[in-house]
Structure 1
Amino acid sequence: MPITLDFIVEPEGLNKQVIINDLVIAGWTGRDVEVLEKHIIELEEIGVPRPSSVPCFYRVGAETFSNAEDLQFLGNETSGEVEFVLIGTEDGMLIGVGSDHTDRKVETYSVPVSKQMCLKPISKTLWRYNDIADHFDELLLRSWVTENGKKTLYQDGSVNAMRPPEELIGLYLPGEDQLPAGTAMYCGTLAAIGGIRTSDRFDIEIEDPRLRSKISHGYNVNKLPVIT
């Protein structure tokens, strides 16, 4: 089911309404084999089966795409992970920062189901991909968890830990290097500092040191009771 979201495109401060028809979660996207193996082991430690091949592309409902800041998730075994997010539009590709929030308990028996179960947060602010394409590898990603009122750095690293956007798009859509209008793609994450865990709030950021610009977003994790 298509969803329409309102964004602000910087640096112009342009208000832009975007319709998303297809939402894709790219997983196991690491460039460095050793770092990717570390993330796979990290997930194996919480029961997630090793992927049969990498990268993987999981389709989820477009209606899970959300830039709201107060979200509800079922149970207390979900967690976020910072990712750069590409969005195809008729005016060219946009990039923002998002969180592939996932149910970790369900992930142990079905990664696709775990992805579909949770809303997929996305920043309200975006950049034009063409504005950062020539120095994409310089971009930085960070996330923080808030637990019992204390905010702690959770992830910190460069987007060059993941495969380049054009490569990911070409693997998903052979022969293409831009997402078609109406498609959004989450493009992979970094290892968690201190291990994967749930939180009461999750804050995310993408930074462009060259252009001295940042996009930040955060959301409250409201945990709904699991009734049997």
Structure 2
Amino acid sequence: MTIEFRADGAPLPLDLKHLIVAGWTGRDADAIAHHIEELAALGVPAPSATPLYYRVSSPLLTTAPLIEAVGGASSGEVEPLIVEANGKRYLGLASDHTDRALEAHSVAMSKQVCAKPCAAELWNWDDIADRVEEIELESWIEEDGAWVPYQSGTIASIRPLADLIEGSRIGALSADGPVAMLCGTFGAKGGVRPAARFRMEMRDPKTGRTIRHDYSTTTLPEVA
């Protein structure tokens, strides 16, 4: 399945071969503990190690403005997206949309059952590599008809992306073709919770460039 990306405005269609979701990637031990506690409140077991690299089906990554999820317990998380393709690296924006009910039983399975929305725009890695940790990420959810701040932080809050790239073995996997990895997130203001609409943004404070993406979630009936 081809994703119609754009790299700095130029078309970059990619037939993604591998998709990775990096989890538990907070750099600060207290922040990791907070996120573990936050998810523990939803019944999610603590990880066996940090970080972890979950392999999921590559067609889950999508630029579509609408996704579908079974039941009403799924929610998004804003994350930086690393893409390796044709010997080049790019930085993008994605949401690790996850089924929170299933997450209480298996984090790996919960990652697999939801689409991973992403923005179509990518930035060439070489253009921002010297200041990548200054890049700002923010998300909002729609509640009662209004957009409510949900997450905010910089990439400096996450483990160095170079470490995640090495730990995930993106380089080796890219021998098969394009690879993408979602790189982790920040705590949610007011706690993790579902919303029908999710908005996210990535900003480069040096240049003022932004990448934005909004998506909606249609809830499918949960039939037993």
Q: TM-score, normalised by structure 1?
A: 0.94
Change in 2 beyond 3 A, CA 1:39/1:74: same
Q: CA deviation at 1:164?
A: 1.6
Are 2:111 and 1:133 aligned? no
Question: 2:150 matched to 1:154?
Answer: yes
Instruction: Give the equivalent residue in structure 1 for 2:2.
Output: 4
For structure 2, list consecutive stretches of 5 or more residues without a partner in the other structure: none
- What SS does the aligned partner of 2:88 have? coil
Q: Which SS does the other structure have where 2:85 is aligned?
A: coil
The alpha carbon displacement at 1:179 in A equals 5.8
Work out whether 1:118 is the aligned partner of 2:118.
no
Aligned residues: 223
Following superposition, which runs of at least 4 residues in structure 1 exceed 2 angstroms of deviation?
176-181
Identity %: 38
One of 62, 68, 74 as aligned partner of 1:66: 62
Which residue of 1 is the match for residue 210 of structure 2?
214
Residue 96 of structure 1 aligns with an amino acid whose one-letter code is: G
Query: What SS class does the counterpart of residue 88 from structure 1 fall into?
Result: strand
The 8 Å contact of residues 169 and 177 in structure 1, kept in 2 or not, is answered as no
- Distance between the aligned counterparts of 2:143 and 2:69, measured in 1? 16
**Does the 8 Å contact 2:18/2:173 carry over to 1?**
no
8 Å Cα contact 1:145-1:202 kept in structure 2: yes
CA-based RMSD? 1.5
TM-score of the two chains, using structure 2 as the length reference: 0.96
Tell me the alpha carbon deviations over residues 3-40 of structure 1, each in whole angstroms, 9 at most, x when there is no partner.
Answer: 21001211xx2011011100000000111111111111
Q: Deviations over 1:102-161 (max 9, x none)?
A: 000000010011000000111011101111100011100100001231110000111111
2:97 counterpart of 1:101: yes
Structure 1 residues 165-174 or 189-198, which shifts more? Answer: 165-174
Structure 1 stretches of 5 or more lacking a match? none
Match of 1:55 in 2: 51
Counterpart residue type for residue 17 of structure 1:
P
* Aligned 1:186-197 pairs, distance under 5 A: 186-197=182-193
Instruction: Determine the C-alpha separation between the residues in 1 that align with 2:30 and 2:21.
Output: 22
- Given that 1:25 and 1:185 are in contact with CA atoms closer than 8 Å, whether structure 2 keeps it comes out as yes
